Amino acid sequence: MDNLFNSKMKLLGFFWSFLLAVLLLVCWFYYRNLKQEISAEAHKNAIQNLELIHGMLQRDADINDQQALQRYLRRIGSRMSFRITYVARGGMVIADSQVPLSSLASLDNHAVRPEIVAAQEQEVGLSTRYSRTSQQELIYVAKAIQPSGGIPPGVLRLAVPWSDFRARFDRYSRTFVWVMLLAFAIIALLSYLLTRQLDKPVNTMIAAMNAIGEGNYGQRLHFQPGHEFYSLAGSINAMADMISRQIHTITGQKQQLEAVFHGMKEGVMVLDAQGKLSGVNRAMAEIIPNVSQSIGRRPLEATMSLELQRACDYVLSPSSDLDSYPYMLQITLHAGENIYDVNIVRLQDPQGGIGAIVVFHDISELKRLEKVRQDFVANVSHELRTPLTSIKGYAETLLAEHEQGPQPLASFLSVILKNTNHMVKMVDDLLQLARLEARSHLEGAAAVNAAEALAAAWKACEPLAQSKQVRLTHSLPAEGLQVTVDFDQLVQVFRNLLENAVRYSPTGEIIEVGYTDDPKKVTFSVRDDGPGIPGQHQHRVFERFYRVEKHRGAQPGSTGLGLSICRHIIQNNGGRIWVKSPVDFQENGTIFYFTLFH
């Protein structure tokens, strides 16, 4: 309210100063014009009187010497309030209505008086100045005349006191100034009263706006139609309506989000722009019981996980190039008892990062079940391997003894041996898969020569290749192509891919192994001219036990685990494996690609 008063007074002060300036200007104009007009009138009067006296002088024939002129002037001068002087050419005063004849000779020479000089050049000479003789300001008008008789030609001069006009001028200007002051006072008072009149509705509107600003959205203004602020009040009411509706919608949405937030099974942490905890949901409080006490602190203090803290710092750092993609990691909490998949998403606004959301997804049970499955596979494979080895051994021995013997026995034994071999291979593959799943990252990895691994793998495939007369060509440099991987695992990858390639190649064809090298990684390719893998199977051939033969007739020695082992090895080393079929510009053929780092 004080503010309103101050600004009102400021506005009024400005208005009053402006008004005063305008009134002063008007006064100044009036003063100037009045002065000009009054002095013009005084000059006109003086000139008229001068003409009158001149006329009378001309008409009066008795005035023909100095004494008669002096008498005449004194007579007229005594009746009028002005002084009449006659100055002969040369400047000597011959007659004066206010100076006796005897004193005339003592008067100054008047030749250089401005009005006398001007009268000789123009029709009438004019001058206003202070007279030392009569001690007042006088208007002098003078005219050159040619009297008759013994009076020499000269200048007839009339001096009218300026004070008569001055008094009138002062009276007029004083009255005008008073009128102006009165007008100013009335306008100032009226303007003040008018602004006071506006105080009440303005104050009501300010109070209503303050109430709306403080959250009282039901506040409305009720002005009658025709009121100065009727339409403004209408706009304020409409604005309050709109804000109220928007707030209602936002509150509803907020409640919905809160319900989702707290109803979620996943634990959620909200981080502010400084990476401090600004909120958690109920599920999070179940994961870390005292997490609500860590609000305002860093995730490290709440979870004791350095890994998580580093991930949050990375996501929130301006240099991270995640945009709105989630950063994913796995962490263990509670001394390794619980495993969580954690997704961190940066919250963005046009001005920059404003925090992050951290979502904890409990995968402990999933991991436990996976472990149970892996252990089961590993155990079963392990248990199967010993009896299978002895069956294989006995079958081989028996076959060796009975190869020349009765036919049914030899063929039964070779069927037993073939199936046993198949089962041994499957158990070996399963065991290897279980081992690969158990140890995940880069175990035993070292810089190895890919060409050597390829040679070792080809050696293992050679018997099969020779039986099909399939040859291998490769472009790998003999001096060495370095990749970081466990040597035996790389041999295994090449071997599985080459075995498949040989198995599916038509007899007498060539298998090609190639590579492309770039600064970080090497991409290997294994190509054959076999039947190819139809598009709908391509993304599934890397699954365990998946075989296209189910759909196109079985291949001997196929377990459906080879590519699954390859994928595990390559992914454990940070690489990627994929297939392309048919080969470019052909109707069949398959190329397997995989990448490894230098």
Return the number of the residue (32 or 576) whose C-beta is nearest ligand ADP: 576
**Closer residue to ligand ADP (CB): 318 or 508:** 508
Spell out the residues 6+ positions from residue 31 whose beta carbon is closer than 8 angstroms to its own: 173, 176
Q: What is the rounded distance in angstroms from the CA atom of residue 511 to the CA atom of residue 462?
A: 12
Nearer to ligand ADP, 263 or 557 (CB): 557
Nearest position to ligand ADP, beta carbon:
562
**Cα separation, 244 vs 119, whole angstroms:** 91
Query: Quick one: which segment of 75-83, 320-328, 483-491, 539-547 binds ligand ADP (CB under 6 A)?
Result: 539-547
Comparing CB distances to ligand ADP, the nearer of 515 and 542 is: 542
Residue nearer to ligand ADP on the CB measure, 82 or 593: 593
577 binds ligand ADP (CB under 6 A): no
Residue 549 binding ligand ADP, by CB under 6 A: yes
The string over 498-532, giving b where at least 16 C-beta atoms fall within 10 Å of a residue's C-beta and e elsewhere, is bbbbbbbbeeebebbbebeeeeebbebbbbbbbbb
Closer to ligand ADP by CB, 86 or 504: give it: 504
Q: Between 305 and 492, whose beta carbon lies closer to ligand ADP?
A: 492
Smallest gap from residue 504 Cβ to ligand ADP (A): 4
Helix (H, G, I), strand (E, B) or coil at 575: coil
By CB under 6 A, which span of 69-77, 109-117, 483-491, 547-555 interacts with ligand ADP?
547-555
Cβ contact 595:521 at 8 Å: yes
- Helix (H, G, I), strand (E, B), or coil: what is residue 580? strand
CA–CA separation, 265 and 128 (whole Å)? 109
CB 438 → ligand ADP: shortest distance, Å? 20
Among 53, 533, 569, 577, indicate the residue that binds ligand ADP (CB under 6 A).
Answer: 533
Output the six-digit token pair for 126. 């004019």
CA distance 466 to 468: 5
**Interacting residues of 486 by C-beta distance below 8 A, sequence separation 6+:** 443, 444, 445, 446, 448, 569
What does DSSP say about strands 471-474 and 510-517: parallel, antiparallel, or unpaired? parallel
Instruction: Tell me the β-bridge partners of 156.
Output: 86, 143
In angstroms, what CA-CA distances link 355 with 298, 318, 326, 340?
A: 12, 11, 13, 21
| Residue with smaller CB distance to ligand ADP, 346 or 568 | 568
Nearer to ligand ADP, 125 or 530 (CB): 530
Chain CA centroid to CA 556, Å? 67
Judged by CB under 6 A, the stretch of 121-129, 176-184, 325-333, 554-562 that binds ligand ADP is: 554-562
Considering beta carbons, is residue 346 or 503 the nearer one to ligand ADP? 503
**Does 561 help bind ligand ADP (rule: CB under 6 A)?**
yes
Burial class (CB in 10 A: 0-12, 13-18, 19+), 318: exposed
530 binds ligand ADP (CB under 6 A): yes
Q: What distance lies between CA 78 and its chain's CA centroid?
A: 95
Judged by CB under 6 A, which of 127, 305, 381, 558 binds ligand ADP? 558
**Candidate residues 236, 528, 568, 577; the one interacting with ligand ADP per rule CB under 6 A:** 528
User: What distance in Å separates the CA atoms of residue 116 and residue 112, rounded to the nearest whole number?
Assistant: 7
Contact window for ligand ADP (CB under 6 A) among 24-32, 200-208, 407-415, 562-570: 562-570
Site string for ligand ADP, 462-501 (x = CB under 6 A): ----------------------------------x---xx
When the beta carbons of 408 and 553 are compared against ligand ADP, the nearer one is 553
Write out the H or E segment, with its range, that includes residue 534: none
> In the bound complex, what is the minimum distance in angstroms from residue 551's beta carbon to ligand ADP?
8
Does 590 engage in binding with ligand ADP (CB under 6 A)? yes
Nearest approach, Cβ of 493 to ligand ADP (angstroms)?
11
What is the nearest approach in angstroms of ligand ADP to the Cβ of residue 501?
5
HEC letters along 409-437: HHHHHHHHHHHHHHHHHHHHHHHHHHHHH
Spatial separation of the C-alpha atoms in residues 45 and 139, rounded to whole Å: 10
Residue (412 or 546) nearer to ligand ADP, CB? 546
562 binds ligand ADP, rule: CB under 6 A: yes
Q: Which residue has the tokens 């958690």?
A: 280
Binder to ligand ADP among 212, 302, 344, 563 (CB under 6 A)? 563
At its nearest, how many Å lie between ligand ADP and the CB of residue 584? 16
Q: Are strands 446-449 and 471-474 parallel, antiparallel or unpaired?
A: unpaired
For residue 198, give every residue at least 6 positions away whose Cβ sits within 8 Å of its Cβ, in sequence order, or none.
228
Q: Which stretch binds ligand ADP (CB under 6 A): 79-87, 307-315, 516-524, 545-553?
A: 545-553
Question: Sheet of 136-145: strands edge to edge?
Answer: 93-96, 83-88, 154-161, 136-145, 125-131
Cβ atoms < 10 Å from Cβ of 116:
23
Residue 564 touches ligand ADP, criterion: CB under 6 A? yes
Q: Binding-site residue total for ligand ADP (CB under 6 A)?
A: 21
- Binding residue for ligand ADP (CB under 6 A) from 281, 559, 573, 595? 559
At CB < 8 A and 24+ separation, what contacts does 278-282 make?
Answer: 278/355
Distances (CA, A) of 215 to 211, 233, 249, 502: 6, 18, 15, 79
How many Å apart are CA 26 and CA 32, to the nearest integer? 10
Confirm or reject binding of residue 512 to ligand ADP (CB under 6 A): no
201 binds ligand ADP (CB under 6 A): no
547 binds ligand ADP, rule: CB under 6 A: yes
Q: For ligand ADP, which stretch binds (CB under 6 A), given 25-33, 114-122, 296-304, 527-535?
A: 527-535
Please state whether the peptide bond connecting residue 299 to the residue before it is cis, i.e. omega within 30 degrees of 0: no
CB 555, min distance to ligand ADP, A:
7
CB 463 to ligand ADP: min, Å: 17
Q: Does the footprint of ligand ADP cover residue 548 (CB under 6 A)?
A: yes
Residues composing the chain: 598
As a whole number of angstroms, the distance between CA 162 and CA 398 comes to 162
Looking at the Cβ atoms of 208 and 561, the one nearer to ligand ADP is: 561
Interacting residues toward ligand ADP by CB under 6 A: 496, 500-501, 504, 528, 530-531, 533, 541, 546-549, 558-564, 590
